[in-house]
């Protein structure tokens, strides 16, 4: 055998050896993962409530790092289930994980990914988000919507009063959805009424079409499309998009007409976007046609409505299960704002303003406790890594193009982060006088409480949502006492979520309002 052949064989052996070692080494640097099946990977381990299934998988296979690597259909997925693992990711690797996975379905529904929420990381997303943060959802803008919130809270109380006077039970979901839908529609488009009703129908249909894992998660794009066409889903989505577009085009046309007639511009989202476009103040965002404006408006409307209503429904469920907390909260509200009797005149003369809400520390603690146990988006929105990342100080190597799911539902129950995590105890958020502990916040800086996410992709609507939420809750408890329908005990309440994009109680909450006796 010639020296040349020997040298080539030696080099090949050496390369093979390095390949095997490198492969073993990089696999050993991946987070724990249970055994999987061909094609579906670990999808068969995920039930109707993915956050609960993933929590169980974390408890069984997760180890001490708080990370699991799963193959969910065609997507390699990193699942984060502890506060410590979330802290490492958001503090040290936020940029790497700041994109969104491509989803043909979302792409179709978002005017070609021109939303904020589902848009991959890049210039378009950065500019669109800046427009939302600076021009639409800033604290100044949220403050300016105070009269809208006040009027809609008064309408909410009036509706509840009618039920209380008739001795009827109310379905909280209906009541609360009506409130948030009107607040959001008025903020986005300036009117509620029939606009809000049309919006309600569109949102309801959209939610049922996109809930849960999709064919797109399992199959390549072309095959997923064939599946959608064969099952009629493609047509349903096209019809839905058309209905949305018609709706948005009509309200855009109304806004333009109003401006043309010199009727002045209101401060709603569409007005602001149209005005910014005219003045060239869109942060370099090219919204040359109406689609861009419609895309942003649609995104904000869809992101704002369900999330806030669902949180309110969970808040009422927890309060009725915890009469001590309910009584303490009602005391605080009465001390700061007085007791109401649902009377319209009373509502207007002594409305609860932002100044009063700022003095309700216990209310804020209750809201945080509700978010801890019932985050509306229990897995946040999926992210995708743009580059390989050595997380937890290099302990694990996460390849590029890995989807990230942060299980904030599990993090809210992480025993390393919370005492008695299953207990509903808002006091955990109150700073003890003279104590050193810093109160935990929910705006993305304390990684054990992340209902709005954190880092670059954090929800830009936090202030908007909290203002609407706190006012509704304070109003409902100021004017009414609440009881379960006769024969039901607090322990009978079903506290499990319904599947879907947002996760309300699977059994809609029904309560009986009673007018509070005026002191």
CB of 64 to ligand HEM, least distance (A): 24
Does 300 bind ligand HEM (CB under 6 A)? Our answer is yes
**Cα–Cα distance, 410 to 50 (Å, whole number):** 11
Does 412 bind ligand HEM (CB under 6 A)? Our answer is no
**Cα–Cα distance, 220 to 201 (Å, whole number):** 31
Q: Which of 110/307 has CB closer to ligand HEM? A: 307
Encode 88-119: b = buried (16+ Cβ within 10 Å), e = exposed.
Answer: bbbeebeebbbbbbebbbbbbbbbebbbbbbb
Q: Which of 418/452 has CB closer to ligand HEM? A: 452
Paired with 510 in beta bridges are: 171
On whether the CB atoms of residues 407 and 81 are closer than 8 A, the answer is yes
CB of 322 to ligand HEM, least distance (A): 20
Maximum distance among all alpha carbons in the chain?
Answer: 105
Binders of ligand HEM among residues 117 to 146 (CB under 6 A) are 117, 129, 132, 137
3-class DSSP assignment, residue 198: helix
Among the listed ranges 15-23, 260-268, 285-293, 445-453, the one in contact with ligand HEM (CB under 6 A) is: 445-453
Among the listed ranges 38-46, 205-213, 329-337, 451-459, the one in contact with ligand HEM (CB under 6 A) is: 451-459
Does 461 bind ligand HEM (CB under 6 A)? Our answer is yes
Does 377 bind ligand HEM (CB under 6 A)? Our answer is yes
**Cα–Cα distance, 146 to 206 (Å, whole number):** 29
Q: Which of 164/377 has CB closer to ligand HEM? A: 377
Does 504 bind ligand HEM (CB under 6 A)? Our answer is no
Does 46 bind ligand HEM (CB under 6 A)? Our answer is no
Does 304 bind ligand HEM (CB under 6 A)? Our answer is yes
Question: What 8-state DSSP symbol labels residue 134?
Answer: I
Does 376 bind ligand HEM (CB under 6 A)? Our answer is yes
On whether the CB atoms of residues 425 and 431 are closer than 8 A, the answer is no
Based on the number of CB atoms within 10 Å of its own CB, is 347 exposed (0-12), middle (13-18) or buried (19 or more)?
Answer: buried
Of 299, 283, 303, 281, which Cα lies nearest the Cα of 291?
299
Q: Which of 152/234 has CB closer to ligand HEM? A: 152
Question: What 8-state DSSP symbol labels residue 516?
Answer: P
Residue that the structure tokens 């979520």 belong to: 497
CB of 503 to ligand HEM, least distance (A): 10
- Cα separations in angstroms, 120 against 115, 127, 206, 212: 10, 12, 21, 21
Contact pick of 57, 67, 85, 116 for ligand HEM (by CB under 6 A): 116
- Number of other CB atoms surrounding residue 68 within 10 Å: 25
Does 311 bind ligand HEM (CB under 6 A)? Our answer is yes
Does 299 bind ligand HEM (CB under 6 A)? Our answer is yes
Does 90 bind ligand HEM (CB under 6 A)? Our answer is no
3-class DSSP assignment, residue 482: strand
Residues near ligand HEM (CB under 6 A), total: 27
Among the listed ranges 2-10, 24-32, 51-59, 380-388, the one in contact with ligand HEM (CB under 6 A) is: 380-388
CB of 147 to ligand HEM, least distance (A): 17
Q: Which of 218/377 has CB closer to ligand HEM? A: 377
**Cα–Cα distance, 4 to 210 (Å, whole number):** 61
Contact pick of 97, 145, 247, 464 for ligand HEM (by CB under 6 A): 464
Q: Which of 117/160 has CB closer to ligand HEM? A: 117
Q: Which of 36/138 has CB closer to ligand HEM? A: 138
Does 302 bind ligand HEM (CB under 6 A)? Our answer is no
Residue 459 among known ligand-binding residues:
yes
All residues at 6 or more sequence positions from 49 whose CB lies less than 8 Å from its CB, including other chains: 496, 497, 499, 503
Q: Which of 164/440 has CB closer to ligand HEM? A: 440
Tokens found for residue 494: 């079903």
Among the listed ranges 81-89, 418-426, 458-466, 503-511, the one in contact with ligand HEM (CB under 6 A) is: 458-466
Does 372 bind ligand HEM (CB under 6 A)? Our answer is no
Q: Which of 93/161 has CB closer to ligand HEM? A: 93
3-class DSSP assignment, residue 474: helix
Of 361, 371, 359, which Cα lies nearest the Cα of 427?
361
CB of 342 to ligand HEM, least distance (A): 25
Q: Which of 228/374 has CB closer to ligand HEM? A: 374
Listing DSSP states for 210-259 in one string gives H-S--HHHHS-HHHHHHHHHHHTHHHHHHHHHHHHHHHHHHHHHHHHHHH
Among the listed ranges 41-49, 189-197, 446-454, 485-493, the one in contact with ligand HEM (CB under 6 A) is: 446-454
Q: Which of 80/132 has CB closer to ligand HEM? A: 132
Contact pick of 295, 381, 471, 472 for ligand HEM (by CB under 6 A): 381
3-class DSSP assignment, residue 515: strand
Paired with 77 in beta bridges are: 70, 403
CB of 251 to ligand HEM, least distance (A): 16
Contacts of 287-292 with C-beta under 8 Å, sequence gap 24+, read 290/249, 290/252, 291/111, 291/114, 292/111, 292/114
Which residues participate in the annotated binding site for heme?
459
What does the binding site for ligand HEM look like in residue numbers (CB under 6 A)?
Answer: 116-117, 129, 132, 137, 299-300, 303-304, 307-308, 311, 376-377, 380-381, 383, 451-453, 457-461, 464-465
């Amino acid at each position: 055998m010639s020296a040349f052949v020997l040298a080539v064989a030696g080099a090949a052996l050496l390369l093979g050896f390095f390949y095997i070692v490198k492969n073993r080494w990089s696999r050993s640097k991946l987070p724990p993962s249970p055994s999987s099946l061909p094609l579906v990977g670990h999808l068969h381990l995920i039930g109707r409530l993915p956050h609960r299934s993933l929590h169980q998988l974390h408890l069984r296979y997760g180890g001490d790092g708080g990370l699991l690597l799963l193959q969910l259909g065609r997507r390699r997925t990193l699942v984060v289930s502890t506060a410590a693992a979330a802290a490492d990711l958001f503090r040290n690797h936020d940029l790497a994980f700041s994109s969104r996975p491509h989803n043909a379905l979302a792409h179709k529904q978002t005017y070609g990914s021109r939303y904020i929420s589902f848009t991959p990381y890049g210039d378009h997303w950065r500019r669109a988000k800046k427009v939302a943060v600076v021009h639409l959802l800033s604290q100044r803008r949220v403050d300016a919507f105070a009269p809208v919130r006040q009027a809609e809270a008064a309408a909410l109380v009036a509706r509840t009063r009618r039920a209380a006077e008739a001795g009827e039970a109310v379905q909280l979901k209906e009541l609360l959805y009506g409130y948030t839908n009107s607040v959001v529609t008025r903020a986005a488009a300036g009117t509620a009424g029939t606009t809000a009703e049309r919006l309600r129908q569109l949102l309801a249909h959209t939610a049922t079409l996109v809930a849960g894992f999709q064919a797109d998660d399992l199959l390549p794009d072309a095959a997923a499309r064939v599946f959608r066409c064969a099952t009629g889903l493609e047509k349903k989505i096209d019809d839905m998009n058309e209905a949305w577009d018609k709706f948005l085009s009509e309200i855009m046309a109304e806004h333009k007409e109003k401006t043309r007639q010199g009727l002045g511009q209101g401060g709603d989202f569409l007005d602001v976007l149209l005005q910014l476009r005219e003045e060239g103040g869109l942060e370099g965002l090219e919204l040359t046609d109406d689609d861009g404006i419609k895309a942003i408006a649609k995104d904000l409307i869809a992101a704002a409505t369900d999330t806030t209503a669902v949180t309110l429904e969970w808040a009422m469920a927890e309060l009725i299960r915890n009469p001590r907390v309910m009584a303490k909260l009602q005391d605080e509200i009465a001390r700061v704002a007085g007791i109401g009797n649902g009377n319209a005149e009373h509502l207007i003369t002594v409305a609860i303003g932002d100044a009063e809400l700022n003095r309700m520390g216990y209310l804020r603690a209750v809201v945080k406790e509700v978010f801890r146990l019932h985050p509306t988006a229990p897995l946040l929105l999926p992210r995708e890594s743009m580059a390989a990342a050595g997380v937890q100080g290099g302990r694990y190597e996460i390849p590029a193009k890995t989807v990230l799911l942060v299980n904030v539902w599990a993090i809210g129950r992480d025993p390393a982060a919370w005492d008695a995590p299953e207990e509903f105890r808002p006091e955990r958020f109150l700073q003890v006088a003279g104590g050193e502990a810093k109160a935990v916040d929910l705006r993305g800086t304390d990684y054990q409480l992340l209902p709005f996410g954190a880092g670059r992709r954090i929800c830009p609507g936090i202030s908007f949502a909290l203002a609407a939420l706190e006012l509704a809750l304070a109003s409902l408890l100021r004017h009414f006492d609440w009881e379960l329908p006769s024969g039901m005990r607090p322990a009978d309440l079903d506290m499990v979520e319904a599947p879907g994009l947002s996760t309300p109680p699977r059994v809609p909450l029904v309560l009986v309002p009673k007018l509070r006796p005026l002191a």
